[in-house]
Structure 1
């Protein structure tokens, strides 16, 4: 009788121990998953930040390439402009002086190669 009882107690204790181990494993798993989710979220946020910065820099660079640098080029002398060729093939004809004797502005022809309205304006003025 006492042997049976001690056996039952031992089995019950083992069961309790196993359940405790399983519970702690589940807790660990849950914690690990939460941590992974947190890491993924942080990585995503970091990516968003970097992406935003890259976009901003790209817009600044495009402005430089299509607006400011051509504006600087217009300040050069006529001879330099004649030798210089636009990468987009817009001023392949040498620039002639307008009636008032000023150099026709170069920025109009080099601003943005994807901007069609500017071409139309220039054609209407007969500067192309």
Structure 2
């Protein structure tokens, strides 16, 4: 399992990076082309430094790499890291689906979900304060 294999810090960095809409958009753009950080900065209503910080968060999570090309730094999405993120989410989904299925099974196997009231309690008053 990917989730079990990756250290918690790696997963934290990965999901922190993906939690921001601007970073997800940068990731998408860098998957289609390899823009420079300067070009990315032109695309967003924020400073160059702010875009650079977003790229650094993505880079720390391993989702993008930067490569110097002359005076520019080109940003490229790492498809293997994106695949790891998808696998981690798939595994979390399977875990939760399994839990929901087990809970559904337990509820379905309960022969009498509304047992007889205890002595001194009617079905109508049970669960309500008197």
The TM-score, its normalising length taken from structure 1, stands at 0.31
* Bigger fraction of residues in helix: 1
* Bigger fraction of residues in strand: 2
Greater C-alpha radius of gyration:
1
The TM-score, its normalising length taken from structure 2, stands at 0.30
